[in-house]
Amino acid sequence: MSGNPTILSSRVRLARNYQDLPFDVAGKPDCAAMCVARTAGALKLSGNDEGFELLHLKDMGDVQRASLAECHLISRDLMRNPDVAAVLLNQQDAVSVMMNEEDHLRIQAIRDGMALQEAADACFRVDDALSRQVSFAFDEQLGYLTACPTNTGTGMRASLLIHLPMLTLLKQKGSVGQIVAKVGLTIRGVYGEGAEALGNLYQVSNQVTLGRTEQELISAVTAVGHQLTDMELALRDKTLSTGRSALEDTVYRGLGLMKYARCMPLEEFFRHWSGVRLGAAMGLVPASLSALDALLIQVQPANLQAMTESAATGHALDEKRAQCVRAALAGIDVKD
Amino acid sequence: MLCEECKVNEASYTLSVMVGDEVTTRHLCGDCMAKMNMDIASGNIKSLLSSILSAITGNDTPEEKQAEVVCPRCRTTLSQFTKTGRLGCPACYEAFHEQLQPMLLQIHGRVQHAGRRPLRTEVAQRNRTLREELERQMEQAVAVEDFETAAALRDRLRALSEKEAAQ
């Protein structure tokens, strides 16, 4: 089994701003252009620009932009100002420097599984390379100054994408919320608009950014990630002994539908995907967790459109999704 | 006591705001307190800010007072900040210091930065000048075939690179 039983990915981002520019550059193209030119120039001058590509959102199509957001390489917020927004992207290393988002810079890195330290180190390398060349808005008392006071200080948000199907099913999310809030973190659903977290996927991240070191924040998020994992795995073990047949039924039904359905809306996909990932993590389904995690990203609307080179939407897109899911699970068979 | 925010439910939480040496308290119900915490978590700090401003000014409609505070650099006013929850520029932190301090304390629990610091530009500048000078001397030494001096200069350049990497 490759991949983590609960934690899909770790992400760290740092908010940074230039001392001499207004935070909001949406209506100020000169300032926005200066932010991009300065950042790209500084990265190049530092000699750390290998693998980075400068992309202006205004030069990209809607599908390409949305696809990068679905891969978590840029934020949804970056797409709000496509006229001025840009990103220095190292796709290979999953490191991006978003420019002209809420802050001038959002330096971000993603790693698979539980690897917040590695993600943070990748961000720090870029941060150091840039801060050798440029002046960031920094105050001795308040640390890095950001557009919103919720990011002031370290400007760092460390988050885990975590799969908690059993905790959700057994409605223990209330106690999860309490654990998380007690140590200054937040938990929220990642996909979907409403209260329900599609795919039972949650994001745990630090809420506090000021007065703690980056290491303290990473440790806090990591500790809660481990704690939630322990709770989830304990419930999974318990279910194997007390409710195995109901669990197997859910997992294998989901697998059957994913293997053979001809049309699969995204919400339905999330439901079956969650069951099959749970089954794979518990050894009921011989599928690789990292392949299932990759599938989750592949079947998002813009990625599907990009991959199939079609502008299909609605039912036609749901058919393409089903096709993609069938292909991914073609070799997965369960012995009775 | 009624919640000072919704004025409907019984207040069960006390929000203490410290400005200078003066502590002002606001009494909130569970719902309004939870809403405020949710807002903070999602980056929406408007309700917290207006609550704090109310506590400072002692009334529920502090707009008149807010309009008086303007950031000298970007001209953002305190009432704009209250409305959007976003500051205009780094200088706003100084201009709105009095209002920001209690808010930062409420959000983060602490107001003294403990994390990383930028590698100062002046240090980088100093090192750059030194590097250029050493490189120039090394080229000269090589030109006159003074390899002993060139090697010593090369070692100093290496040490400088290592020092920069450590920083």
pLDDT at position B36 is 72
* CA A320 distance to own-chain centroid: 24
**Which residues of A, range 136-175, sit inside 8 Å of B by Cβ?**
136-145, 147-150, 152-154, 156
Determine phi and psi for A105, rounding to 5 degrees.
-125, 140
Q: Which residues of B101-116 are buried (b: 16+ CB within 10 A; e: fewer)?
A: bbbbbbbbeebebbbb
pLDDT tens, N- to C-terminus, chain A (336 residues): 578 999 999 999 999 999 999 999 988 999 999 999 999 999 999 999 999 999 999 999 999 999 999 999 999 999 999 999 999 999 999 999 999 999 999 999 999 999 999 999 999 999 999 998 899 999 989 999 999 999 999 999 999 999 999 998 887 767 777 777 777 788 888 887 666 789 999 999 999 999 999 999 999 999 999 999 999 999 999 999 999 999 999 999 999 999 999 999 999 999 999 999 999 999 999 999 999 999 999 999 999 999 888 888 899 999 999 999 999 999 898 887
Q: Nearest CA to CA, how far is B12 from chain A (Å)? A: 18
User: What is the CA B102 to chain-centroid distance, rounded?
Assistant: 13
Question: Which chain B residues contact residue A181 at CB under 8 A?
Answer: 37
Task: Sort residue B25 into left (φ over 0), alpha (ψ -120 to 50) or beta.
Answer: beta
pLDDT tens digit sequence for B55-74 = 665 555 544 444 479 999 99
pLDDT of res. B65: 47
pLDDT value at residue B30: 75
How far is it, in rounded angstroms, from Cα A221 to Cα A44?
Answer: 33
Distance CA(A92)–CA(A80), nearest Å, equals 25
Indicate the pLDDT class of residue B9, thresholds 50, 70 and 90: confident
In this predicted structure, the answer to whether residue B92 has a pLDDT above a threshold of 70 is yes
- In this prediction, residue A277 carries a pLDDT of 98
Domain boundaries, chain A: 7-234, 244-329
**What would the mean pLDDT of B159-164 be, rounded to a whole number?**
85
Rounded mean pLDDT of chain B?
79
So what's the pLDDT on residue B20? 52
pLDDT per position as a tens digit, A4-41: 999 999 999 999 999 999 999 988 999 999 999 999 99
Please give the residue of chain A at the shortest CA–CA distance from B104: A149
A118-123: long-range contacts, CB 8 A cutoff, minimum separation 24: A118/A10, A119/A10, A119/A11, A119/A12, A119/A158, A120/A12, A120/A156, A120/A158, A120/A214, A120/A218, A122/A12, A122/A93, A122/A95, A123/A12, A123/A13, A123/A14, A123/A95, A123/A156
> Could you tell me the two tokens for A218?
């990473």
Contacts A202 to B, Cβ<8 Å: none
Helices (H), chain A: 29-45, 62-70, 116-131, 165-169, 173-182, 214-242, 244-260, 266-281, 289-298, 301-308, 314-329
What is the per-residue pLDDT for B38? 66
A22 touches chain B (CB under 8 A): yes
Look at residue A330 in the predicted model and tell me its pLDDT: 93
CB–CB contact B88 A22 (8 Å): yes
Strands in A7-16's sheet, in edge-to-edge order, are A53-56, A86-90, A95-99, A105-112, A7-16, A156-163, A201-206, A185-189
Specify the residue for token string 């808005």: A137
Q: Which chain A residue lies closest to B82 (C-alpha atoms)?
A: A148
Q: Kindly state the average pLDDT of the residues B10-29.
A: 67
Task: Give residue B108's pLDDT.
Answer: 93
Torsion angle in degrees (nearest 10) through CA of A69, A72, A78, A84: -80
In chain B, where the domains are located: 13-91, 122-166
Per CATH, the homologous superfamily of domain A7-234 is Glutamine synthetase/guanido kinase, catalytic domain (3.30.590.10)
> Is A29 in CB contact (< 8 Å) with chain B?
no
Q: What is the ipTM of this complex?
A: 0.87
Question: What pLDDT, in 10s, does the model give residues B109-140?
Answer: 999 999 998 886 556 667 878 888 999 999 99
Judge whether residue B34 has pLDDT over 80: no
